[in-house]
Chain A
């Protein structure tokens, strides 16, 4: 039912242009509104590269002040324009960031529909206020995203649509990136390339530099001697939580490499040949100087995404072969795994308590896995195409959050190639008992053989489970399904204030969370789409987790 109605909703909008997209969507707790958009200057990129790369999104919380002030010499007009715009916002934001961004330059329109279209970068930015000091405090929240051969950095708290910094790579396209907010020293940003190369750098240093080249970047290469660089592009990068300076890179040839940022990146290293590409094989570098320090051959075909549990103990991988695998990272041991319904898995993520995993893939499903039970506990049905991004909303708290008992409720989101953002509530007490589908008209009920998948106890360590049968897995329906972009989506991130969505072409939309006071106002005003009064924005941005307490429990599905 849910699937059908959402399908028709998407179909109706399918032919329409961007104009058909709404700038808000309703949830039981209130309206999420499009606050602004971020993108790169698309005109330059599209024609050169034919959209071969898919844009990914990283949110970077930069904490401390940099060691040195980045005073900069005069620069070409375009980049100085970008810089001054950023500096202006940052400068005024020192005292109270949230206030500065609503009132900082007198622009109150929260929706970016009025932005220049295809205008030159920097030409119209900040001309009136470019007297701002170029002190790159660097503190704040940044969004990092890739498109074609460039990595872009935008200030999340500025309404400026254009990035404040672009880093151009001449040899290959950046495809994936990760930021380490806990990095005590040295590099905190890693970037995986289409060529299989990896770079690490300091985000702050990049922000301080006016140029278009990466600054003080360290280069790493896994050093395939056979030169088969094709088929080994980077697919995902991640810092290992609680392990200062250690990061891993997954590749399209089924390998994952472990690096140490404190070691030289270009040491010769060799790993033994892979005899059976379908078998797990973990090898350590012989030389202590070697970087990468280890290679994990995980599966046949590409590893599409990786994710560490918040404590860094477990590593999850998903791949072309349709399997989720969960490893004990320090013991280098497969704990459990399981397969999609069919097709490749494309994305995975952990809940903040490390108890649940989400995966999404080519079967249009969002799978919820329980770590304790080592199996799938639910399938989310609602996307009309492949699921390309999943994330738990760790800032959300359930309506009656007394935090007692088993009634844990998780909020999560998913985005897909159907251009939709879906939000889901996962109430564990509701799906603990597997549903035996009384499927209409199906005679298979008489078979009476209970499903092995469900009735077995927790499977032994190291076992990969086959696809479960359709009727054996409890189904979830989305709380909300909203078409957020014109192009297929590639990722989403939850922040304290908003939900960020990004499409494959590199357009980012920022959906601000409903606030309590707004909720009350919304009860009276039925339509409010564009232009939020300043006061409202203040409320939004100063709200915190407590906002969640206004949520109402609702099992109905809202399609916007």
Chain B
């Protein structure tokens, strides 16, 4: 470990970014799902900076009970305040808190990194919103639970007041609009939904651009799946499509690589080759915003099945690409990203596949 760290320092040499820390995270038995997500979030600079700012502002109150937010902020501050530039840290307090908080993550089983990311962001939102309520509007009674993923289930606006956006919202939240056109009366119903990430169905030998197109393609609701039109006051055939109304600052894309196969009665991993560019624009926005994103982190699932395997992350920091594998940190280059696209044919053996992609908006930067 020590050797690897010094190797990284040597490799970067004088280019080692001022004030930056590259630390591996110890694995406490199948906690790579957690480590890989933590690294991606740490190198999501706007998120890290806001979290550290929060930490600095709240440190003084001291007596607050431990929660996921304080544990994460504490971990980030620990990393950023290391005297050494590289090394290994044990995210012990964070993992303990996580296991206490949610029994799903308590076992030593292999966990889904996307589920964890979801859980973590929602948990942070809950805590932050509770806190802001205590401070600003202590008698608000609504219990808030953001739906981050699967926007199908949740409808948020309309019946609730817009809550104060938290740092999680500022970074990750985008708004989808669900346009449904009743085929009888032609009325278009718009329904907005918020999201923290986009979960995309994938196809063999396709691109993220194509997956996003499919995500926003027009779907016909008929037969069993008719739409209740308010104007017609009855179930009607309708056309539905989902577009992005407000693109997030940090765009998180989750590739649905774990698919339930009915014939098998279990989940199967799809190792499809899905290419993702280092720069991306959303082609499915409502106003053709032409907003450009730049890839800064890739979470990779290693392994052939959904119930076992390993997670690693590739992260871009100050124009260098780094490879995080639990306690190991190595320097790499951007062409490495291409090795995680997937396999063009089913049994060709490449099982190291990009699973969650993190893009940052370039507009935010300039």
Q: Which residue numbers of A lie inside 8 Å of B, CB to CB?
A: 3-4, 7, 10-11, 14-15, 231, 322, 341-344, 362-364, 383-386, 417-419, 437, 439, 441-444, 467, 469-471, 486-488, 504
Contacts and interface: CB of A to CB of B under 8 A. Distances in A.
Contacts of A14: 203-206, 272
A439 B288 contact: yes
A362 B275 CA distance: 9
A217 to B, nearest CB: 28
Interface string B193-220: 0000000000111110110011001100
B210 A342 contact: no
Given A4-B213, A385-B210, A488 B273 contact: yes
Given A442-B286, A470-B283, 17 more contacts: A7-B217, A10-B204, A15-B346, A343-B277, A343-B278, A344-B278, A384-B203, A385-B209, A417-B207, A418-B210, A441-B188, A443-B287, A444-B288, A469-B288, A487-B345, A488-B205, A488-B273
A487 B348 CA distance: 11
B214 A364 contact: no
B207 A441 contact: no
Nearest to A340: B279
A385 B278 contact: no
Contacts of B275: 362, 385-386, 417
A342 B214 contact: no
Contact of A487 (B203, B283, B286, B344): B344
By size class, the interface of chain B is 20 to 34
Nearest to B217: A4
B205 A10 contact: yes
A439 B289 CA distance: 13
9 contacts: A7-B210, A15-B346, A342-B279, A343-B278, A343-B279, A385-B207, A417-B273, A443-B287, A488-B344
B286 A362 contact: no
Contacts of B278: 343-344, 362
A441 B290 contact: no
A322 B279 CA distance: 9
A467 B275 CA distance: 21
Interface of B: 179, 188, 203-207, 209-210, 213-214, 217-218, 272-273, 275, 277-281, 283, 286-288, 290, 292, 333, 344-346
Nearest to B295: A343
Contacts of B333: 231
A208 B278 CA distance: 46
A384 B204 CA distance: 10
A473 B179 CA distance: 25
Contacts of B213: 3-4, 7
B205 A362 contact: no
A471 B203 contact: no
A454 B286 CA distance: 22
Given A363-B277, A442-B287, A444-B288, A419 B210 contact: no
A486 B277 CA distance: 22
Contacts of A4: 213-214, 217-218
Contacts of A386: 207, 275, 277
Contacts of A467: 290, 292
A7 B277 contact: no
A11 B210 CA distance: 11
A342 B251 CA distance: 16
A14 B203 CA distance: 7
A469 B292 CA distance: 11
Given A342-B279, A417-B273, A470 B286 contact: no
A342 B281 contact: yes
Contacts of B273: 417, 488
Nearest 6 pairs of A and B residues by beta carbon: A343-B277, A14-B204, A362-B277, A384-B210, A385-B207, A11-B203
Contacts of A15: 204, 346
A15 B272 CA distance: 9
Nearest to B270: A15
B243 to A, nearest CB: 9
Contact of A470 (B290, B345, B346): B290
B219 to A, nearest CB: 11
Contacts of B288: 437, 439, 442, 444, 469-471
Contacts of A363: 209, 277, 281
Contact of B344 (A10, A341, A444, A486): A486
A482 to B, nearest CB: 14
A139 B272 CA distance: 43
Contact of A441 (B206, B281, B286): B286
A50 to B, nearest CB: 9
Contacts of A385: 205-207, 209-210, 275
B281 A364 contact: no
